[in-house]
Structure 1
Amino acid sequence: MKYQIITTFIISLCCNISLTQAQEKNLEPVLDSTALPQVLLKGTSIKSELTHTPAAVNRLDHRELNRNSPTLLTSSFNRIPGVYTQAGALNTNRITIRGIGARAQYGTTRLKAYFNEIPISTGDGQTVINDIDLEAIESVEIIKGPNSSLYGSGLGGVLHLFAYQPRNERSFAKISSSFGSYQLLKNTASVGYSDKKKSLFATYNHLQNEGYRENSEYDRKSFNFNGTFYSGENSAISFLGNFTRLKAYIPSSIGKTAYRENPESAAFKWISAEGYESYDRFLLGISYRQHFTDNLENTTSVFINSRDAYEPRPFDILKENSFSMGARTRFNYKTELFSLPAEASLGAEFLNENYYGSNFENLYEEFPNQGSVRGSQIANLEQDRKYYNLFAQLNLQVFPKLKLVGGLNVNFTDYALTDLFEEDEIDQTGDYQFETIWSPRIAALYELNSTKNIYLNISKGFSTPTVDETLTPQGLINTSLKPEIGWDYEVGFKGNWFEDFYTEIALYSIQVNDLLVAERIAEDQYVGANAGKTDHNGVELLLKYNWKITSAIILKPYASANFNFYKFDEFIDEGQDFSGNDLTGVPDQKINIGLDLIAENGFSLFSNVLFVSEIPLNDENSLETDRYQLINIKAGYDFTIFNDFQINLNAGVNNVFDEHYAVSTLPNAVGFGNSEPRYYYPGNDRNFYGGVEVKYLF
């Protein structure tokens, strides 16, 4: 039935497009308070408007990112069709794009993330972004699907964060405080300065939360600073720095009985060991942009990224340190090719990451009620990863209404392992290299009229195995592992209707080969293996409307939805054939509907309903979560006193009807001994928050 509904909708939309194109005159975009504005994307190698980009790209601005509680940057990502975010705790998040990364065990893999063009994903493809505070982010752009011709490794897509920049040419100082359920407390202080020559911003925040579940206390301090200095009209130098200190306890997943009867509980071994993770993380980058002529420009960035971490876990204690440095450069050139307008982008990216990891015994069972106690060392490894990425793109305006895009990426990834543990007879030392990967892309965009476009995109992507996946059960490097490779075939429509109504629809098919799967060797340990192929077929819809009820009130309803048909094409794991089963760890339907109200007197109201269908918990498809729906509401009031003081008051409720649901899952959990498989991360019950912000303009 749902196939018929989707097919009917697509046919109706296509017919409506054709009729409207025949009847409408070309409309110039109206950029008043109600019209949906043209959005210029910054995360693509050649900048273009959102509606004129032949790829599935979505953008969240500062207001959209702050329409929820102030704790998680990723809490707004579920507004984007095709993107599903699971948050087992404030420090345990999994972002999947079009089903890619759904089988990851404890975090986000298979995508790339950048902060102002500085990579924040590790060299082996793991991404943590929730320790970057909301206050430091102006917007997020999400490129969905394999687009390795732009950014290299990242089969699922690319997350591009852009730092907040003052633009009103006035200095300001701002303080804010948020508070709420589970002893939530967040204090923030920010300053900004802007004039015609420079733009500077800095923010510090301290976030504390005891958490809904046992053993989930969270404490994060972060400091972010960024700025741009302009040298005339032709050059600018920018910098970005971010420091985070985190200590977050880990409740981990729980079994079905505890999930139903005592969702506030933590996993027994994790609470006994008082397991947690703590780290200091530092990111620094400098970028220089130069316009040599009206047609030629270059942007070059250099960056460093370091992380010093300590993580006591029931099965061992992990101490790790990583340091990476790299550079990225891109030349853009406007010219004519065969007398046709063209724009080319040519660039390179290099990343060198040095990783140290030491494992120690955890003696918490021998020292009851003392938490984790470090014992003898059981492993000590050093790994150096080098990542070389060459990319090129050409945009060619073949006809006034037809644009063609071609791209190519070449990637070289190698790593050297040094075994520093001499107390066993195993020596893993060696140099390893993945095969050179060529990733082409071809796309086309056709302008139906001045406000509506259709596009076609065919692209290839890949993801390399993580450090954990490259290790065998004996702790050796598995040199037979291959990167996952995926091809994306996509057609879509983007357009405005009646100036105030924006729609997107995308139909795609992604075929993934050499699927990397996690094989469990202990209760909380796993290794990787290439075990098959998956098909990711889906439909995505996005609707936005600006409705000016009166001269003082605007309603902004929106809806996003994705309908997924993700299957194992060929998948045999340890002799079991799962071919034809639904992909584990991702729902086949996600619908997000919301209504925002903006009033001229400063009052605002944000509301949304999130529907999530059942999620298969294992490859056999013998167990799945219950479907759920969440309602969240937030209200705010902005006003000014004494001309220069801007005040914001806000309050919100999450999970209004106290829904019992699994906010995240652990795919293919295994029960050891008499224990149940620990599949479930319970979602928070009904919870409240509020805040006050005071901003002074100098």
Structure 2
Amino acid sequence: MKYYAITALILGICSINLQAQEENLEPVLDSTALPQVILKGTSIQAELKQTPAAVNQLQQEELNRNSPTLLSASFNRVPGVYTQEGALNTNRITIRGIGARAQYGTNRLKAYFNEIPITTGDGQTAINDIDLEAIESVEIIKGPNSSLYGSGLGGVLHLFAYEPGKERSFAKISSSFGSYQMQKNTLSVGYTDEKKSLFATYNHLQSEGYRDNSDYDRKSFHFNGTIYSGEHSALSFLGNFTRLKAFIPSSIGKTAFEENPESAAFTWRSAQGYESYDRFVMGLSYTQHFTENFENTTSVFINSRDAYEPRPFDILKENSFGLGARTRFNYSTKLFSFPAEASLGAEFLSENYDGSNYENLYEDFPDQGSVRGNQITNFEQDRNYYNLFAQLNLQVLPKLKLVGGLNANVTDYSLTDFYAEDDIDQTGDYQFETIWSPRVAALYELTSTKNLYVNVSKGFSTPTVDETLTPQGLINTTLKPEIGWNYEVGFKGNWFKNLYSEIAIYSIQVNDLLVAERVAEDQYVGANAGKTDHNGIEVLLKYNWQLSPKISLQPYASANFNFYKFDEFVDEGEDYSGNDLTGVPDQKINLGIDLVTESGFRFFSNALFVSEIPLNDANSLFSENYQLINLKAAYDFKLFQDFEINLNVGVNNLLDEHYAVSILPNAVGFGNSEPRYYYPGNDRNFYGGVGVKYLF
């Protein structure tokens, strides 16, 4: 119960200062006030407190409180979001328990980079390809929000590219180093004037990893910019290229997890399994203000991925290419004398996927790793995604705002089988029924700094490529998208300017739950198997305590308490109705205190507490709860007038906790092997870095 004591300490600090202010009845200085947060990812831009939905924003400084290796490392600070990092290239992001049953990656949510979707046509999202240096902020919209964004039952991740803005042009070089032979080198340049803002960065990240067979090598190049044409139009562009080769240790059984957590799964180590790919995303966006009240933003984009993945059971070669467009019109007017803002738009994505599987003959060639044998499958899948959306914000009373939204989605795909050496023809076409996703919400202003909201919305997620195939490799035409309804009430508000608080109480009912049925070791197919109830409470507190004009202390606390259950769930004849949802903890608490000084010194502390996690649908096995403490110190100073120096050093897992950073739900043991449920977390590890920035 350590985390309850620490939570009480944080709340006690806030309470003492609030009581002092109430007794003195003196106004708080502006220097202690929390800044106004404007959301960019919502269809109609609004202040965070004025948005009737559960949305959290992470600014660049918050994203850089951790080690420089992973963008998603900061997401656990957000209540309702749980990130599991099996390795630098293996992560699972769940929002309100949605996506917890994914086997190896992140699905059931939608992700955008500026106005460009980076989620694939079948719902897979990989954001750690994008380096931290390229990101200015992240906005996380929690819960079903398909009325604006289409497929993404869990929620939406909005990444926003770094822009120099009003900052002077610069060149920056930095190096980071750490445990497991981690090294990262980065070069960034930025240019800005009255008509344009340009930014580019290149980085190379290498690590040998904590575990066997976990070497990681990533090179990425990113560029973005905005060119302004007068006062009423702007052209923005963005590109991101990643070349990755990452070996895969995979999950291990309980004995290895307890006695030798640095080990890799035997078959993956023997095959020297890895994934390697080149990935490219590029897009153009044009914004035109026709009048003061009417504007349009239109984006066109392409993405491609060329991948090769030797696995113990086969070798997968795949290539995907997608192109699409998104347009959005915003109009401000008066409707029946009420101030109104409307947004109307459309999104289209067409994606072609080619996949080939080959025999892996590593057992015939000992100590040589994977050796490609005969081809065993060769197919092509085309997926088209059409999305129409509309939203209306209506200020019906000075203190009451109503929001309504509606989305229509059509998803279809076709499969072409090019492999003629078997008796199975997988060729076929399928289209999901049109899905209508409404949303209604209301926000009431209790005071000028405190708001209460209610939100009812519908969401959905379509099956992935693997889930659409039967064990025989045919298209499963009976498979349905997951559908969920979200009911939510929440509060957002400032107290005495320097304490910000949020609380959200929600209930999500998911129908046609997609589950992974295992057909062989590390292989599975999808099936609709029942219903789940996702009920929970989320709390967020941020406090700004000005110790002196030049020093501030910023404690924060976030927590979520989940009550996720299988409502109706029968899988392969077993009834799991009433059991806890697999793969997600029922409690997650995040606490910390940051020290910020005007001299440039900053100190960040963070404690993460995660409760036990059900490992299987029967709830017969659970992972143990764990606590992590991470610390980081940074110092920024000027060496000369135009030279800025950054120094930083940090430690993760300060207490050297032994824990499972990720789990594989419903693992099955084959032969005499144990079920491989566990991805061991890193032991105590250190990192540091230095950066030099020259201002032109």
Q: Same fold (TM over 0.5)?
A: yes
1:8 is matched with none
CA distance in 1, matches of 2:453, 2:199: 38
* Contact in 2 for aligned 1:169/1:196 (Cα 8 Å): no
Q: Which amino acid aligns with 1:285?
A: G
Deviation string for 1:489-512 (max 9, x for gaps)?
Answer: 000000000100000000000000
Give the deviation of 1:35 after TM superposition: 1.1
CA distance in 1, matches of 2:683, 2:196: 45
2:8 is matched with none
Give the deviation of 1:196 after TM superposition: 1.3
CA distance in 1, matches of 2:99, 2:537: 18
SS state of the match for residue 497, structure 2? Answer: coil
Q: Which amino acid aligns with 2:541?
A: L
CA distance in 2, matches of 1:33, 1:590: 32
SS state of the match for residue 604, structure 1? Answer: strand
SS state of the match for residue 365, structure 1? Answer: helix
SS state of the match for residue 293, structure 1? Answer: coil
1:674 is matched with 672
Q: Which amino acid aligns with 1:84?
A: Y
CA distance in 2, matches of 1:170, 1:604: 23
1:220 is matched with 218
Alignment of 1:420-435 (within 5 A): 420-435=418-433
Give the deviation of 1:601 after TM superposition: 1.4
1:630 is matched with 628
Q: Does 1:86 align with 2:84?
A: yes
Alignment of 1:424-503 (within 5 A): 424-503=422-501
Give the deviation of 1:257 after TM superposition: 0.1
Residue 352 of structure 1, aligned match among 350, 353, 357? 350
CA distance in 1, matches of 2:158, 2:463: 22
Q: Which amino acid aligns with 2:650?
A: G
Give the deviation of 1:145 after TM superposition: 0.2
Residue 313 of structure 1, aligned match among 305, 311, 314? 311
CA distance in 1, matches of 2:87, 2:242: 17
* Contact in 2 for aligned 1:350/1:387 (Cα 8 Å): yes
* Contact in 2 for aligned 1:389/1:409 (Cα 8 Å): yes
CA distance in 2, matches of 1:410, 1:660: 47
1:211 is matched with 209
Alignment of 1:222-237 (within 5 A): 222-237=220-235
Alignment TM-score, normalising by the size of structure 1: 0.96
Q: Which amino acid aligns with 2:69?
A: T
* Contact in 2 for aligned 1:87/1:94 (Cα 8 Å): yes
2:371 is matched with 373
Q: Which amino acid aligns with 1:74?
A: S
CA distance in 2, matches of 1:444, 1:526: 42
Alignment of 1:152-301 (within 5 A): 152-301=150-299
CA distance in 2, matches of 1:500, 1:232: 39
SS state of the match for residue 269, structure 2? Answer: helix
Residue 122 of structure 2, aligned match among 114, 124, 130? 124
Deviation string for 1:591-620 (max 9, x for gaps)?
Answer: 000110001111110000000000000000
Deviation string for 1:494-543 (max 9, x for gaps)?
Answer: 00001000000000000000000000011100000000000000000000
Q: Which amino acid aligns with 2:141?
A: I
CA distance in 2, matches of 1:328, 1:400: 33
* Contact in 2 for aligned 1:31/1:37 (Cα 8 Å): no
SS state of the match for residue 216, structure 1? Answer: coil
Alignment of 1:12-27 (within 5 A): none
* Contact in 2 for aligned 1:169/1:195 (Cα 8 Å): no
Deviation string for 1:316-357 (max 9, x for gaps)?
Answer: 000000000000000000011111000000000000000000
2:580 is matched with 582
Give the deviation of 1:428 after TM superposition: 1.2
Q: Which amino acid aligns with 1:204?
A: Y
SS state of the match for residue 589, structure 2? Answer: strand
Residue 40 of structure 1, aligned match among 22, 25, 38? 38
* Contact in 2 for aligned 1:210/1:217 (Cα 8 Å): yes
Give the deviation of 1:573 after TM superposition: 0.3
CA distance in 2, matches of 1:582, 1:79: 23
CA distance in 1, matches of 2:79, 2:335: 37
* Contact in 2 for aligned 1:505/1:541 (Cα 8 Å): yes
1:506 is matched with 504
Q: Which amino acid aligns with 2:158?
A: H
Q: Which amino acid aligns with 2:439?
A: R
CA distance in 2, matches of 1:229, 1:375: 51
Q: Does 1:547 align with 2:542?
A: no
Deviation string for 1:437-477 (max 9, x for gaps)?
Answer: 00000000000011000000000000000000011111111
Alignment TM-score, normalising by the size of structure 2: 0.96
Q: Which amino acid aligns with 1:603?
A: F
* Contact in 2 for aligned 1:279/1:308 (Cα 8 Å): yes
Q: Which amino acid aligns with 1:80?
A: V
CA distance in 2, matches of 1:246, 1:414: 30
1:330 is matched with 328
CA distance in 2, matches of 1:186, 1:583: 38
CA distance in 2, matches of 1:170, 1:603: 22
CA distance in 2, matches of 1:382, 1:32: 60
SS state of the match for residue 460, structure 2? Answer: strand
CA distance in 2, matches of 1:591, 1:95: 16
CA distance in 1, matches of 2:446, 2:232: 36
Q: Which amino acid aligns with 2:624?
A: D
Deviates more, 1:349-358 or 1:166-175: 166-175
Structure 2 unmatched runs, 5+: 6-10
* Contact in 2 for aligned 1:389/1:411 (Cα 8 Å): yes
Give the deviation of 1:551 after TM superposition: 1.3
Q: Which amino acid aligns with 1:347?
A: G
Identity among equivalent positions (%) equals: 82
* Contact in 2 for aligned 1:81/1:561 (Cα 8 Å): yes
Residue 418 of structure 1, aligned match among 416, 419, 431? 416
Q: Does 1:570 align with 2:568?
A: yes
2:359 is matched with 361
* Contact in 2 for aligned 1:381/1:419 (Cα 8 Å): yes
CA distance in 2, matches of 1:118, 1:554: 37
1:9 is matched with none
The runs of 4+ residues in structure 1 deviating greater than 2 Å are 30-34
CA distance in 2, matches of 1:175, 1:160: 27
Deviation string for 1:197-226 (max 9, x for gaps)?
Answer: 110000000000000000000000000000
Deviation string for 1:290-324 (max 9, x for gaps)?
Answer: 00001100000000000000000000000000000
SS state of the match for residue 613, structure 2? Answer: coil
Deviation string for 1:421-442 (max 9, x for gaps)?
Answer: 1111111111100010000000
Give the deviation of 1:33 after TM superposition: 3.5
2:692 is matched with 694
SS state of the match for residue 581, structure 1? Answer: coil
Q: Does 1:67 align with 2:65?
A: yes
CA distance in 2, matches of 1:625, 1:113: 29
CA distance in 1, matches of 2:146, 2:271: 41
Q: Which amino acid aligns with 2:570?
A: I
Residue 97 of structure 1, aligned match among 70, 95, 118? 95
Give the deviation of 1:32 after TM superposition: 3.9
SS state of the match for residue 224, structure 2? Answer: strand
CA distance in 2, matches of 1:47, 1:31: 28
Residues 31 and 323 (structure 1), Cα distance of their counterparts in 2 relative to 1, 3 Å cut: farther
Q: Which amino acid aligns with 1:649?
A: L
SS state of the match for residue 76, structure 1? Answer: helix
Q: Which amino acid aligns with 2:378?
A: N
Give the deviation of 1:34 after TM superposition: 2.3
Deviation string for 1:367-416 (max 9, x for gaps)?
Answer: 11000000000000100000000000000000000000000000000001
1:384 is matched with 382
* Contact in 2 for aligned 1:221/1:244 (Cα 8 Å): yes
Q: Which amino acid aligns with 1:103?
A: R
* Contact in 2 for aligned 1:224/1:242 (Cα 8 Å): yes
CA distance in 2, matches of 1:614, 1:375: 42
* Contact in 2 for aligned 1:118/1:301 (Cα 8 Å): yes
CA distance in 2, matches of 1:567, 1:546: 37
Q: Which amino acid aligns with 2:520?
A: A
Q: Which amino acid aligns with 2:125?
A: T
SS state of the match for residue 133, structure 2? Answer: helix
